[in-house]
Amino acid sequence: MHDIESILSLETIDDDIYRGAAVETPRRRTFGGQVAAQALVAAVKTVDPEKHVHSLHGYFLRGGKPHQPTIYLVDRIRDGRSFTTRGVRAVQNGETIFSMQASFHVRGDQGPEHSDAMRRVPQPEELKPVTAEEFYGDPVLMEEWAGWDLRLVNPKDYDHNTYTASQQVLWFKSKKTLPDDDTFHVCSLAYMSDMTLLYSALVPHPGHKVQMASLDHAMWFLRPFRTDDWLLYDQISPSASGARGLTHGRIFNRQGDLVAIVTQEGLTRTLDPEA
């Protein structure tokens, strides 16, 4: 089981240079959420605490080697009165495996407010934890995510949008209590946001074997939340075409507040049965 506190603990190498430790895994490539979360931690370390991250946009450029540490190089792009921008490159063996920009906004700004509503779904206590057999038969994923409680909502138990090609809904949270630090929970959600989302592109194609990999990842953090309390991940896949699946997720807290939005495109290439 991977401890999120260890994953998000980076070593300072020099000014704006950090190192994330290798995380043992049977996977051939580093989990994308790990790289994105560590890159965000590196960016946060260079920003005044009065500003909080409100968005990130990243590209997965190469598969990470899970048994090697990753170096994070931070570029201080802009420091304004209200907004700060950081660029981060994740590097292994001299090659960039992930590139990200993150934007930070001063706390306390005021403006109009509105929000989409959360679907009516069963409460997490009414559902059983997800098993590998239920979730695309991948025991390696279940082992890697053993520190998180995932509960898939049966499609029969919520109203469907008839104009959406693919829908998937699940509750999730950390099994252990996490630190009382808003930024820590934001970075934890960056890790968790890559869990399960790309699989929503396979919902209309049961049994279709594909090669999967995250290509890009964007997040917007809208309201405070805790990742050790239940969050509802409402996922859709608006399109799959040309071996790429586009996915979109809205994340709500248990009270129904929309706390984050995620958009991701990933490789969904049909596997050659002769290969």
Q: Known catalytic residue: 214?
A: yes
Tokens of 238: 């608006």
Give strand ranges (E) for 198-230: 210-221
> Can you name the residues that pair with 233 across neighbouring β-strands?
170, 251
Report d(CA 45, CA 171) in Å as an integer.
Answer: 30
Residue 34 a catalytic site member: no
Give the bridge partners for 20, in sequence order.
Answer: 70
Strand partners, 246: 239, 265
198 contacts 264 by C-beta, under 8 angstroms: yes
The answer to whether residue 264 is catalytic is yes
Question: Looking at 168, 193, 214, 237, which residue is catalytic?
Answer: 214
How far is it, in rounded angstroms, from Cα 159 to Cα 126? 17
User: Does residue 259 contact residue 253 with C-beta atoms inside 8 Å?
Assistant: yes
Catalytic one of 38, 174, 188, 264: 264
Q: Is the dihedral of CA 131, 132, 136, 140 positive or negative?
A: positive
Distance CA 239, CA 247 (A): 8
Selected catalytic residue, list 38, 101, 193, 194 = 194
Residues with active-site annotation: 194, 214, 264
